[in-house]
Structure 1
């Protein structure tokens, strides 16, 4: 599976095909506004600000399946992220990830890598290469400022080009 084969709808309802970022690394994170890990939005925004020019694409995927911690509609989610954390990286519409009808990307991840790769909570992070392959994934407790997490991003950014 290649991440660029999938598409979402943006938080504003526009088409958001991931092929748009073919050739760029993608950090995909399932997010929620009412979670203990919600302050990670600030760290994700910092990563986006720091590495956007190097080609890193950060995408937040709001999800309400873990503790029902993303109950808002798209406009509320977007406003919350912008007002509280200054989020400027793209967000998708709220998605199902592990429920009865998960987004096709998460079905493909499960089928290729087993259910061990699926999130157990909000703010699970996936790093995909510029070719669209899964490089690594991290659980919620790994914050965006974690040294090992950043090292993996930085180590791979050197080999990526726009």
Structure 2
């Protein structure tokens, strides 16, 4: 039964088209998170940087993408690129741990050193304000349908593209978009 639900979710993700509404004129830089250590994390520090915002989970079939996200971060961080991991327990209760447990998991299992935020909701009316903004300004394609959904944001703080969970962070289409945005 769980396997059927998983396949249904994956297949249904393909039916959500990208729909730019541009109803919300704010940019990513106007928001903040609290990081996994409990400190305020201003997204304004990433003005003039390309940002890949990814909702993550420790017990997901896509958790191995942490390795690919770290590789992207290592390769492009010196070129004004940042990966931001946003833990969420919204999908299948696959991120049940505390912030301290999440941090330990990321560092111990994947040597993660890109920014990880505190665990938040990323969907629905109780989603973190960044995710509410993303859906309002870019449409339903920006709302995560599962763990490891990716939102690519340009140097001006606008959403450029989104990638479903099954799209590997090091896939040709993701890397090509990142390189295009970095060079602009």
TM-score range relative to shorter protein: over 0.9
When the two structures are superposed, what TM-score results if normalisation uses the length of structure 1? 0.95
Can you give the 5+ residue segments of structure 1 that lack an aligned partner in the other structure? Answer: none
Determine if the alignment matches structure 1 residue 27 to structure 2 residue 52: yes
The aligned residue for residue 126 of structure 1 is 151
Determine if the alignment matches structure 1 residue 61 to structure 2 residue 86: yes
Q: Distance in 1 between matches of 2:173 and 2:31?
A: 28
Tell me the CA shift for residue 107 of structure 1: 1.1
Q: Distance in 1 between matches of 2:163 and 2:174?
A: 8
Q: Deviations over 1:18-40 (max 9, x none)?
A: 00111111110000000000000
Q: Deviations over 1:76-129 (max 9, x none)?
A: 000101111110000000011114411111111222223332110000001111
The aligned residue for residue 115 of structure 1 is 140
Asked if the contact 1:65–1:99 (Cα under 8 Å) also holds between the matched residues in 2, the reply is no
Q: Distance in 1 between matches of 2:120 and 2:104?
A: 17
Determine if the alignment matches structure 1 residue 3 to structure 2 residue 31: no
Q: Distance in 2 between matches of 1:56 and 1:45?
A: 12
* RMSD value, Cα: 1.0
Runs of 4+, deviation exceeding 3 Å: none
1:109 is paired with a residue whose SS is helix
The aligned residue for residue 151 of structure 1 is 176
The aligned residue for residue 142 of structure 1 is 167
Q: Distance in 2 between matches of 1:76 and 1:99?
A: 25
When the two structures are superposed, what TM-score results if normalisation uses the length of structure 2? 0.84
Count of aligned pairs between the two proteins: 159
Determine if the alignment matches structure 1 residue 105 to structure 2 residue 130: yes
